Chains A and B, each alone.
Chain A
Amino acid sequence: MTIRVGVADWRVTDDDDAVLVTSGLGSCVAIAVRDARSGAGGLLHAMLPEADGPVDTPAKYVDSGLDEMVSALLRLGASPSSLTAKLAGGSTMLDLSIGDSVGSRNVSAAERALADADIELLASETGGDSGRSVSFSPSSGDVTIDRVDAEVHVI
């Protein structure tokens, strides 16, 4: 089953056949987290680096979104010590005077949040100047990255 993940959203599953997908990653980042032993996995699509205190939409931010998603994975039976992650997104597509370097700050925030949560970052495909769509298979751990006018890339 294909499970869609929106912007500022996360989804978790322990269904062997499930694929989590999210599209339209510009400066946003997608963080895929999985526990290979339990088969549980989750995908977060976060828009901004860090929440400034409690927020209405935790998944909008890398740090609070990852916290929330990891809690949901643990409730599904994932073990905190065996979680691993892959990271994609954070491009700089437009040269805008506002939102200084959101893409690269999102990537840094993701790397920091994963390190703080003691989750090993196995692979990442970040930066550049083009958008991405991401599919994540929790059972295989593959993160498939699709771009306009480019070959599909798997990390």
Chain B
Amino acid sequence: MRVDLDAVASFSRTGDEGGQRAADSLETLTGIPANCQLTRTALVDADGLSVFLGDSWERISVEFDGALTGRAVLSFDEAFANHVEDELGVGAAALPEVANILTSGFVDVWAADDEDTIEIEPPDRLEDEHRVVQDAAVIDDCAFVFESQIVLSSTQGTCRFAVLPDVESFGSYVTEPDAEFALSDLANHIQVASVSAEAVSSHLEMMTGTDATLVESHVDFVPVERVPSLLDDAAYEGAIFESEGVVDSVIAILFDETEPGAVAELLLGDADAGAEMAESAVSELGNITASGFIDQWANALDTTIDISTPSHVRDAGRAVLDTVAAAYGERADTIAVVNATITLGPDVTCRVCTFPSPEDADQLADIADNLAADASEES
């Protein structure tokens, strides 16, 4: 029995409304315009959950129970926390109050369509990072996370508002009736992310001779208009490919340089190498890297997937993803994105975002099933 991807999309869409409602509630509380800039339903390797949630100045947990059961984990950065504390003028009490307001706003949307209500518990500061993982709902090492990123006007700060629904509660939204193993099928998609990320990491290391560190990998199900927010506005140098075969997809391999010329230095040993040479080297590296993991997808179904010639880009990360999202936007409201983040030495981070065609969701699920079966045999 298949996972109902339309139901995942519905979950993601309802969550998107919840994230916006949470932002509106915060705006009412603080008087500062607030935006919900990213919402996504993510499948995250449980061991990497803490990394996925990002570095945090302070985390607060709010449990809730009823029509939707689980907990919210709110991660505040310092700029956001300071701004809110200044505006509300209540010192350290501000963040628990914000956590309460955001969670209430979010769950209101979920309770609206259900006869059951949702009760929320008092906010609880998370002192122990391990509790994030211990409390998460996990199937086959895959955690389900619904995340909204809330920003306030006139500050660079962000609040990452992650909802970790309990397995049963989440499953009731995304599985078809009587589907005994459907949630496991969804969890299998994490294998697509982890296998791809490991392939990318090893190919990058081999091609550059630089130590590659896999930071995290996950799968997002995200409304198309939220896709650009998966990256920031920093300049990325990279290559965009299309794959064609059993699963069509768009693959973005993007390098974020902390220092200008770092990618050219890495690939060519010369930070001042001409733009043309750097462009060619990035495209070549992208091609080999993309082929490396797409071959694994193809092998899982004993078939082949072809890769197009690359489009080179050097542009703001969000503008690149905006273009991909708009291209898919006329065909689907919600799409899956397979993500990997790899660091290459101290100065270069590689982000790989793969967008399987929404029409090929069943084939992607078949790949996930086979990769999960392979992983199970190996362990």
| B-contact 0/1 string along A127-143, CB 8 Å cutoff | 00011110000000000
Task: Return the chain B residue nearest A9 by Cβ.
Answer: B35
- The SS class assigned to the A binding surface is loop
Given A7-B228, A9-B35, A132-B319, A148 contacting B324 (CB threshold 8 A): no
| B-contact 0/1 string along A83-102, CB 8 Å cutoff | 00000000101111111001
| C-alpha gap A28/B322 in the complex (Å) | 7
> Does A6 belong to the interface (CB within 8 Å)?
yes
Within residues 292 to 320 of chain B, which ones have a CB less than 8 A from any CB in chain A? 308, 311, 313-320
> Does A82 belong to the interface (CB within 8 Å)?
no
> Does B99 belong to the interface (CB within 8 Å)?
no
- Closest chain-A Cβ to B34's Cβ sits at a distance in Å of 9
Are B315 and A60 within 8 A (Cβ)? no
> Does B154 belong to the interface (CB within 8 Å)?
yes
> Cβ of A6: which chain B residues have Cβ within 8 Å of it?
35-37, 225, 229
Within residues 19 to 76 of chain B, which ones have a CB less than 8 A from any CB in chain A? 33, 35-37
Are B320 and A131 within 8 A (Cβ)? yes
Are B322 and A26 within 8 A (Cβ)? yes
> Cβ of B329: which chain A residues have Cβ within 8 Å of it?
47-48, 60, 99, 102
> Cβ of A57: which chain B residues have Cβ within 8 Å of it?
223, 225
Are A24 and B318 within 8 A (Cβ)? yes
> Cβ of B311: which chain A residues have Cβ within 8 Å of it?
93-96
- Closest chain-A Cβ to B278's Cβ sits at a distance in Å of 13
Given A24-B316, A99-B329, A93 contacting B323 (CB threshold 8 A): yes
> Cβ of B37: which chain A residues have Cβ within 8 Å of it?
4, 6
| C-alpha gap A102/B329 in the complex (Å) | 10
Most buried by B among A26, A60, A91: A26
| C-alpha gap A60/B315 in the complex (Å) | 23
Given A7-B225, A7-B228, A148-B235, A23 contacting B318 (CB threshold 8 A): yes
> Does A36 belong to the interface (CB within 8 Å)?
no
Are B315 and A2 within 8 A (Cβ)? no
> Does A25 belong to the interface (CB within 8 Å)?
yes
> Does A27 belong to the interface (CB within 8 Å)?
yes
- B326: which of A2, A27, A56, A97 is its contact (CB, 8 Å)? A27
| C-alpha gap A96/B357 in the complex (Å) | 13
| C-alpha gap A91/B316 in the complex (Å) | 13
Are A26 and B151 within 8 A (Cβ)? no
| C-alpha gap A99/B319 in the complex (Å) | 15
Within residues 166 to 225 of chain B, which ones have a CB less than 8 A from any CB in chain A? 223-225
